Chains A and B, each alone.
Chain A
Amino acid sequence: MSTMSARAGDVTAGRARRRASSTELSRWDKVLRAVSAIAGIVPTGLLVFIAVIMVVAALPSILFNGFSFFTGSVFNFGNLYATTTVTHNGVTALPHAAYGVWPLIVGTLATSLIALVLAVPISVGGALMLSEVIPRRIADPLSVFLELLAGIPSVVFGLWGVAVFGPFIAAHVYPALSAIGHVIPFFKAPVGVGQGLLTASLVLTVMIIPIVASTTLVLLKRVPILAKEGALALGMTRYETARVVTIPYIRTGIVAASLLGWARALGETIAVLLIIGDIYSVPGNIFGNSSTIAAWIASTLDGALQDFTGMGVHALAELGLLLLAISLLTNLAGRLVVRRVAGGVLPVGRGV
């Protein structure tokens, strides 16, 4: 009893020392809140900073090139060894300078779309297999494996693509594939030696599958088991259960997962640069060499710095701004879809 009163005395004595309660904030709490508030603003500040820098850096190019930037097909710094410059709309560039990035827009969208169209069905199908059919003993380690894959660095994919996958598929699969060329001219030969648009798209597919698949697996675990068992009790096969119950349940989640994969495909630089052949043109066939916005910026920045008028660097900034705009717009559009149907929280995943 004496200990209890002693403790009670402690409490009142402590209270007398006037510590703040959880509803008010002591001085330290105010400091903590201020400091963490500053930290909380940082992501927004960074985003604004990035956007502002890109716009300011791109402005001279926007003025110089106008709308032909998006429709033209020639990316020429001009005569680097010229002694005169040309001026247009108040900004100077080298003679014969022309900046049209249509081939890059085509390359970027084509590779990312092909990758997305291939990756989503494969990921969903494989994830369904893992969660519905394969016994837990094997499925659990495999799902861990899938998460590990999402972490493999881009440059490793590039290395594999250029050294192993590209040559293999060009020798064994493409010749057969080019038979489709009789029906669809875009698939005709020559098939090349392993670089090119299709190979880059396929490697991108392999890169984004782990993200989409492991996110889908997480979603599949959340499907209420009662609904699935009810379907089975009604006599539906597992396939019909999947089609009628499971997939509709995770539909918006798959959209969200696809968004993550799409973002990664759009922004992928290094792997694409190593595989796609870095040639500035819309390829004549699906096996041909091409380039994407991200890969072109990375490979051409040094060249742009040779342009003493600076227009080369500004043109690359406009290109980066274009990629940023495409990424952000598709990101926002996808979010709208997700939010419209279910107040969905996007699961954590990798960007690029």
Chain B
Amino acid sequence: MRTGLMGGIAALGTLAVVACGSSSSPTSSSSSGGSTPTPAAVQTGNPTSAVTLSESGSTLLLPFLQELVAPLTAQYSNITLAPSGGGSGKGISDAIAGNSLLGGSDAYLSPGQFSQNPTLANIPIAISAQGVWFNLPGVTSLKLTGDVIAKIYEGSITKWNDPAIAALNSGVTLPATTIMPLVRQGSSGDTFLFTSFLSATNSAWANGPGPGTSVTWPHVATEGSASSNPGMVAACKPGCIAYIGVSATSAAQTAGLSEAMLQNKAGNYVTPTPSTIGAAVTAGAASIPSNLALSLIYQDGAQSYPIVNFEYVVVNTTQSSTDNALAIRTFLTWAMDPNGGSQSQYLSKDNFVALQGSVPASVLSAINAKIASIT
């Protein structure tokens, strides 16, 4: 009965902290610490019965979620997070169909998906990025532009010592190895980010395959594929080039791959670091549409890294049980909290960047308002 009462109270617009839930667990709804103003308060707390938050989707987001399982249950004993992979496309379709409570996705929903599913929302919980890696024995550093990469994936550049690549990398001896471009099988948020970047930098790509979670890859004889970020690392044999999310960076380094420096909109060559990622967010996330679908690809800024994205949790704002709704709101709020899930010990392992401190308060309010609408 108490849960029913709690679920009935809408806490939009109030700044008061509402204590709720069982007495054994502390509750908090607004972020504490830092100089950011308190955003809109959201009803959170430990549900009265055990809730399992089933999640599927992005393999870029998965390692981060796996780290959050234990601390989440330590904080809220009745909430258990159960993440799995399968690619962003699976996450979105599972969330739509109700097969999972949460869908992890690097890609925001499409206009068609929004209109077909009016109660669906995509809620950012962290910021991540994507690197372009290559395996070329003897070469450890390489500068590449989106235009050149697009041409590689289109098949017009086939060898590593192609003049177009050499022109960007004077002083580096490039071998005559055949390039083996790797793509992601199935429906992948990483593919969406990568092809968005290619579309922004190469007009033939924009008019051809275009951006998407799955695209028709131009036929390249030496093309290979993998079904997850770690799979891309494993499949990257000498000569390959692959797009790999930052949560697999350490695996890529251990496997002996090298990260390329990408040219951003300002013309500078950068790799994904917290500062270059932060610069892209500052440039791109000054405001956010009400459905929270925002691209951070190829933003202005001297230091901006070109392939940056929000990590989205796709969820149905109309839940069948108030306990589920409470658990979801609690998890999302806690995950964004710098004292909760967004502590540096969890983020840095996957090279993610926290939302708080990177986006302005207005964006945070919009996100919190969306979370509060989950009932």
Q: Which residues of A contact B (CB under 8 A)?
A: 74-77, 79-83, 85, 94, 96, 190, 192-193, 195, 277-281, 284-285, 288-289, 299-300, 302-306, 308-309
Whether the pair A81, B212 counts as a contact (CB closer than 8 A) is: yes
Give 27 A-B contacts (CB < 8 Å), ordered by A residue: A75-B216, A77-B214, A80-B110, A81-B112, A82-B112, A83-B111, A94-B112, A190-B221, A192-B222, A193-B237, A279-B217, A281-B219, A289-B223, A289-B224, A299-B185, A299-B227, A302-B86, A302-B87, A303-B187, A305-B92, A305-B96, A306-B113, A306-B187, A306-B214, A308-B112, A308-B113, A309-B112
Question: Is the C-beta of B284 less than 8 angstroms from some C-beta in chain A?
Answer: no
Q: Which residues of A contact B217 (CB under 8 A)?
A: 279-280
Given contacts A190-B178, A281-B219, A289-B225, 13 further A-B contacts (CB under 8 A): A77-B212, A80-B213, A81-B111, A82-B111, A83-B112, A85-B112, A289-B224, A302-B93, A303-B187, A303-B214, A305-B96, A306-B110, A308-B115
Min distance, Cβ A26 to any Cβ of chain B, angstroms:
49
Which interface class (under 10, 10 to 19, 20 to 34, 35 or more) fits B?
35 or more
Q: Which residues of A contact B215 (CB under 8 A)?
A: 76
Task: Give Cα A94–Cα B214 distance, bound, in whole angstroms.
Answer: 13
Q: Which residues of B contact A289 (CB under 8 A)?
A: 223-225
Whether the pair A306, B213 counts as a contact (CB closer than 8 A) is: yes
Question: Is the C-beta of B89 less than 8 angstroms from some C-beta in chain A?
Answer: yes
Min distance, Cβ A313 to any Cβ of chain B, angstroms:
10
Min distance, Cβ A223 to any Cβ of chain B, angstroms:
48
**Residue of A80, A94, A277, A285 ringed by the most chain B CB atoms within 10 A:** A80
Contact with A along B106-134 (1 / 0, CB 8 A): 00001111011000000000000000000
Min distance, Cβ A267 to any Cβ of chain B, angstroms:
20
Whether the pair A280, B187 counts as a contact (CB closer than 8 A) is: no
Residue of B nearest to A282 (CB): B219
Min distance, Cβ B175 to any Cβ of chain A, angstroms:
15
Question: Is the C-beta of B90 less than 8 angstroms from some C-beta in chain A?
Answer: yes
Q: A74-B216, A289-B223 are known contacts. Are A308 and B186 too (CB-CB below 8 A)?
A: no
Task: Give Cα A279–Cα B213 distance, bound, in whole angstroms.
Answer: 16
Whether the pair A79, B225 counts as a contact (CB closer than 8 A) is: no
Residue of A nearest to B86 (CB): A302
Question: Is the C-beta of B210 less than 8 angstroms from some C-beta in chain A?
Answer: yes
Task: Give Cα A80–Cα B211 distance, bound, in whole angstroms.
Answer: 8
Q: Which residues of A contact B92 (CB under 8 A)?
A: 305-306
Task: Give Cα A192–Cα B239 distance, bound, in whole angstroms.
Answer: 11
Min distance, Cβ A175 to any Cβ of chain B, angstroms:
15
Q: Which residues of B contact A76 (CB under 8 A)?
A: 215-216
Task: Give Cα A85–Cα B178 distance, bound, in whole angstroms.
Answer: 40
Q: Which residues of B contact A306 (CB under 8 A)?
A: 89, 92-93, 110, 113, 187, 213-214
Residue of B nearest to A308 (CB): B112
Contacting A at CB under 8 A, from B160-200, are: 178, 183, 185-187
Task: Give Cα A300–Cα B191 distance, bound, in whole angstroms.
Answer: 14
Task: Give Cα A285–Cα B185 distance, bound, in whole angstroms.
Answer: 21
Q: What are the 7 A-B residue pairs with the smallest beta carbon separation, nearest first?
A: A303-B187, A305-B93, A308-B112, A303-B214, A302-B90, A76-B216, A302-B89
Task: Give Cα A193–Cα B236 distance, bound, in whole angstroms.
Answer: 10
Task: Give Cα A82–Cα B210 distance, bound, in whole angstroms.
Answer: 11
Q: A80-B212, A308-B110, A309-B112 are known contacts. Are A302 and B186 too (CB-CB below 8 A)?
A: yes
Q: Which residues of B contact A288 (CB under 8 A)?
A: 221
Min distance, Cβ B362 to any Cβ of chain A, angstroms:
25
Q: Which residues of A contact B187 (CB under 8 A)?
A: 300, 302-306
Whether the pair A277, B225 counts as a contact (CB closer than 8 A) is: yes
Task: Give Cα A306–Cα B112 distance, bound, in whole angstroms.
Answer: 9
Residue of A nearest to B111 (CB): A83
Task: Give Cα A192–Cα B217 distance, bound, in whole angstroms.
Answer: 19
Task: Give Cα A328–Cα B157 distance, bound, in whole angstroms.
Answer: 44
Min distance, Cβ A189 to any Cβ of chain B, angstroms:
10
Min distance, Cβ A7 to any Cβ of chain B, angstroms:
67
Task: Give Cα A85–Cα B189 distance, bound, in whole angstroms.
Answer: 22
Q: A277-B224, A289-B225 are known contacts. Are A305 and B89 too (CB-CB below 8 A)?
A: yes
Q: Which residue from B87, B93, B216 sits with its C-beta under 8 Å from A280?
A: B216
Task: Give Cα A314–Cα B42 distance, bound, in whole angstroms.
Answer: 41
Q: Which residue from A74, A81, A280, A285 sits with its C-beta under 8 Å from B110?
A: A81
Task: Give Cα A96–Cα B210 distance, bound, in whole angstroms.
Answer: 11
Min distance, Cβ A272 to any Cβ of chain B, angstroms:
13
Task: Give Cα A285–Cα B222 distance, bound, in whole angstroms.
Answer: 11
**Residue of A192, A289, A303, A305 ringed by the most chain B CB atoms within 10 A:** A303
Whether the pair A279, B223 counts as a contact (CB closer than 8 A) is: yes
Whether the pair B225, A278 counts as a contact (CB closer than 8 A) is: yes
Min distance, Cβ A155 to any Cβ of chain B, angstroms:
14
Q: Which residue from A81, A281, A284 sits with its C-beta under 8 Å from B211?
A: A81
Min distance, Cβ B238 to any Cβ of chain A, angstroms:
9
Task: Give Cα A80–Cα B105 distance, bound, in whole angstroms.
Answer: 15
Task: Give Cα A192–Cα B180 distance, bound, in whole angstroms.
Answer: 10
Q: A299-B185, A299-B186, A302-B86 are known contacts. Are A284 and B214 too (CB-CB below 8 A)?
A: no
**Residue of B87, B90, B216, B217 ringed by the most chain A CB atoms within 10 A:** B216
Task: Give Cα A149–Cα B66 distance, bound, in whole angstroms.
Answer: 38
Task: Give Cα A260–Cα B178 distance, bound, in whole angstroms.
Answer: 41
Task: Give Cα A94–Cα B113 distance, bound, in whole angstroms.
Answer: 12
Q: Which residues of A contact B93 (CB under 8 A)?
A: 302, 305-306
Task: Give Cα A281–Cα B178 distance, bound, in whole angstroms.
Answer: 19
Task: Give Cα A96–Cα B222 distance, bound, in whole angstroms.
Answer: 26
Q: Which residues of A contact B90 (CB under 8 A)?
A: 302, 305
Task: Give Cα A23–Cα B115 distance, bound, in whole angstroms.
Answer: 67
Task: Give Cα A284–Cα B222 distance, bound, in whole angstroms.
Answer: 10
Task: Give Cα A306–Cα B185 distance, bound, in whole angstroms.
Answer: 14
Task: Give Cα A278–Cα B214 distance, bound, in whole angstroms.
Answer: 13
Task: Give Cα A280–Cα B215 distance, bound, in whole angstroms.
Answer: 11
Min distance, Cβ B234 to any Cβ of chain A, angstroms:
10
Q: Which residues of A contact B221 (CB under 8 A)?
A: 190, 284-285, 288
Task: Give Cα A230–Cα B201 distance, bound, in whole angstroms.
Answer: 80
Task: Give Cα A300–Cα B227 distance, bound, in whole angstroms.
Answer: 11
Residue of A nearest to B108 (CB): A81
Task: Give Cα A193–Cα B178 distance, bound, in whole angstroms.
Answer: 13
Min distance, Cβ A300 to any Cβ of chain B, angstroms:
6
Min distance, Cβ B55 to any Cβ of chain A, angstroms:
15
Residue of A nearest to B219 (CB): A281
Residue of B nearest to A76 (CB): B216
Q: A195-B224, A289-B225, A306-B187 are known contacts. Are A300 and B214 too (CB-CB below 8 A)?
A: yes
